[in-house]
A and B are shown apart, each in its own frame.
Chain A
Amino acid sequence: MKKLLTVIITTGMMIFTVSPVWSEDSDLFSNAGGIESLRGQVEVSTVNSAEILKREPKDQQLIDRNYVQQPPLIPHTIRGYQVNLNANKCLSCHSFKNAGDMGATKISVTHFITREGTTLSDVSPRRYFCLQCHVTQADAKPLVENTFTPVDSLR
């Protein structure tokens, strides 16, 4: 009995040490579980070297829209622009009243329409916080390939 036990244990140890069930090059040693993320196949605990910081160009050409109903991207920097209960810096250029003087695009009338479909005399509350829908663009390359092509009417 005792002998049998020793044999089982030694063979067990042999199997585990000599020929591990996982091979060296599979990724089971890392705690990423073999899943590759955008930062490559690395341990969760390794710290990647940081990407260089991206900047937003101060002013650029209007950026083409890719689909109908897309909120256009913001083609300029917006540092320090306050949009809150007291003030809306965006509207100081884009409102119907100021757009002419400031040479900016007027917000479209869709911005006056409430959820129920009524058209108000001023910006609808659901369109007040511009940055919910409109965002700036940094001078960065896309991280993943994108094969999206806009519909014909926008090309």
Chain B
Amino acid sequence: MLKLLKRLWVIMKSPSTASMGFILVIGFLGGIIFWGGFNTGMEATNTEAFCSGCHAPIVKEIRETIHYSNRSGVRAICSDCHVPHNWTDKIVRKVQASKELVAFAMGTISTEEKFKERRAHLANREWQRMKENNSQECRNCHQFEYMDFSEQGKRSVSQHSTALASGEKTCVDCHKGIAHQLPNMEGIEGW
């Protein structure tokens, strides 16, 4: 066994007789396959079915909300709001998400009761994150520049044309609970 490995190493080390072009082609193809597989993997982890594996109660709730059922038939899925579109941010979030695996192993939200206990904490983290990135995920679909005030309701206009336009507040400041049941809101600003 060791001998075989040694032989392999020697072959790998010594300059190959294969043409440089051939090696490049192999490398290129390998790269494409790796890249494709990587991105497919990233896509697969973006589906709702994947999230529902650990977040079943949440997936159930979302059915009644505007981002599941609406007049235009456009949906926002979990990853639209929780995974950044920008590539580097996406990788960062995925790496951060790896700590969810640790939490999963520890079973922090493994039962409905435990989830209820921890929900306020998780929601706060999410609000904090969205506040820091100025609700980037919402803006991927809803851009302020394209909002037509003549089409919006009176209450929407009075808030969007003031606090939102001036940048004083961001989407999640006013639209908490847009996709989920809220945790206990006592003491949260604006409630």
| Chain A residues whose C-beta falls within 8 Å of the C-beta of B40 in the assembled complex | none
| Chain A residues whose C-beta falls within 8 Å of the C-beta of B64 in the assembled complex | 80
Least Cβ–Cβ distance between A80 and chain B, in angstroms: 6
Q: How long is the Cα–Cα vector from A104 to B158 in the complex, in angstroms?
A: 11
Q: Which of A76, A85, A88, A98 contacts B190 (CB 8 A)?
A: A98
B66 within 8 A of A: yes
Closest-by-CB residue of B relative to A79 is B66
* CB–CB B190/A92 < 8 A: yes
* CB–CB A103/B177 < 8 A: no
Number of interface residues of A (CB under 8 A): 20
| Chain A residues whose C-beta falls within 8 Å of the C-beta of B42 in the assembled complex | none
* CB–CB A59/B154 < 8 A: yes
Q: How extensive is the interface on chain B, given as a class?
A: 10 to 19
Of residues 133 to 191 in B, which have CB atoms within 8 Å of A's CB atoms?
A: 153-155, 158-159, 177-178, 181-185, 190-191
Q: How long is the Cα–Cα vector from A88 to B185 in the complex, in angstroms?
A: 8
Q: Which of A59, A79, A82, A98 contacts B155 (CB 8 A)?
A: A59
Of residues 37 to 84 in B, which have CB atoms within 8 Å of A's CB atoms?
A: 64-66
* CB–CB A87/B154 < 8 A: no
Interface flags for A80-113 (1: CB within 8 Å of B; 0: not) read 1010111111011000001001111000000000
Closest-by-CB residue of B relative to A57 is B153
Q: How long is the Cα–Cα vector from A89 to B153 in the complex, in angstroms?
A: 17
A141 within 8 A of B: no
Q: Which of A76, A80, A85, A103 contacts B178 (CB 8 A)?
A: A80
| Chain B residues whose C-beta falls within 8 Å of the C-beta of A80 in the assembled complex | 64-66, 177-178
Least Cβ–Cβ distance between B42 and chain A, in angstroms: 31
| Chain B residues whose C-beta falls within 8 Å of the C-beta of A155 in the assembled complex | none
Closest-by-CB residue of B relative to A55 is B71
* CB–CB B181/A86 < 8 A: yes
Q: How long is the Cα–Cα vector from A85 to B186 in the complex, in angstroms?
A: 10
A58 within 8 A of B: yes
* CB–CB B185/A87 < 8 A: yes
| Chain A residues whose C-beta falls within 8 Å of the C-beta of B190 in the assembled complex | 92, 98, 101
Q: How long is the Cα–Cα vector from A58 to B155 in the complex, in angstroms?
A: 9
Query: What are 30 pairs between A and B in contact, CB < 8 Å?
Result: A58-B153, A59-B154, A59-B155, A76-B153, A77-B153, A79-B66, A80-B64, A80-B65, A80-B177, A80-B178, A82-B177, A82-B181, A84-B181, A85-B184, A86-B181, A86-B182, A87-B177, A87-B182, A87-B184, A87-B185, A88-B191, A89-B177, A91-B191, A92-B190, A98-B190, A101-B190, A102-B159, A103-B155, A103-B158, A104-B155
Which 10 pairs between the two chains have the least Cβ-Cβ distance?
Answer: A59-B153, A58-B153, A87-B182, A59-B154, A87-B185, A86-B184, A92-B191, A86-B182, A103-B158, A82-B182
Question: A residues engaging B (CB < 8 A)?
Answer: 58-59, 76-77, 79-80, 82, 84-89, 91-92, 98, 101-104
Question: B residues engaging A (CB < 8 A)?
Answer: 64-66, 153-155, 158-159, 177-178, 181-185, 190-191
Known: A58-B153, A80-B65, A87-B191. 14 other contacts (CB 8 A): A59-B154, A59-B155, A76-B153, A77-B153, A80-B66, A82-B181, A87-B182, A88-B191, A91-B191, A92-B191, A98-B191, A102-B159, A103-B155, A103-B158
